[in-house]
Amino acid sequence: MDKQSYARYLLHLMNEEGANETDIEEAQFYGYFQMYMPDGTGVEATFEPLEDGHLYLQKIFQIYEILDSEDFNGHAVPGYFIGKARNVSDEVLLKCGRQFIQDLQSLLVEYSLKSGEEDLPDYLLESIEVRIVPSGEIDKIRHKYDPDLYEAISDLISEQKEYDEPIEILDEAYYSIACDYWISYYLQWHRYNLSGDPFAAYFNLYRQGYSAIFSENKLYIGT
């Protein structure tokens, strides 16, 4: 099944018009996974045509597990998959943050060895402090993120993609889960043909209601 055939298959699942179009774009699937909120019932059909569909399915169920079904009993329902903040000890948060840093370091080292790329953020290969910030403070830090690091990760992933493979039609759908590319990378990691699972710790923080932002040679964690 090619990319456009898969797109038409997905439109049929959505009961959307346009299933006979010849140039269906990724943007048409923005918010696709929200269709199966809150428990993911029916989402398995999404991946049935794909040879490695079971791997995508295993990961995608994790985003439904973070939802609270009670949030869907009223007239207004969540538009994104957002974990509710839990009472997690600083010790656990620090351990998770350090694991994330270590896994990202391993990813960048692997990538640099494979590609010969030397223009990577130096500080990720050095010691990085993890800081826990009070509730509400992380949004102030979000605007001071380190663009070099985020661009390096984006470029790395882009080079590992096969843009003509069917799953690419869900690129916007994956992004719109949380409007977070790193969550998207975690849920699709096996397609990039890189070792490890470097965004697992990041997702673990996210599902417990925490954000993690790299800024000024530090990793900030907060709600």
> What span, in angstroms and rounded, lies between the C-alpha atoms of 37 and 43?
9
Q: According to the per-residue pLDDT averaged within each range, which of 11-20, 48-57, 107-116, 136-145 is highest?
A: 48-57
Residues 6+ apart with CB under 8 A from 112: 118, 120
- Per-residue pLDDT of 7-36, as tens digits, reads 999 999 999 866 566 789 999 999 999 999
Q: Give the Å distances, CA to CA, from 170 to 5, 25, 123, 130.
A: 13, 9, 33, 33
> What span, in angstroms and rounded, lies between the C-alpha atoms of 204 and 100?
10
Whose tokens are 């849920």? That residue is 187
- Is the pLDDT at 42 greater than 70, yes or no? yes
Q: In the structure, what pLDDT confidence band is assigned to residue 89 with cuts at 50, 70 and 90?
A: very high
- Per-residue pLDDT of 204-223, as tens digits, reads 999 999 999 999 889 999 99
**Average confidence (pLDDT) over 114-125:** 65
Which pLDDT does position 122 carry in this prediction? Answer: 65
Which pLDDT does position 84 carry in this prediction? Answer: 83
> What span, in angstroms and rounded, lies between the C-alpha atoms of 166 and 53?
11
For the chain, the structural domain boundaries read 3-222
Pairing state between β 211-215 and 218-222 = antiparallel
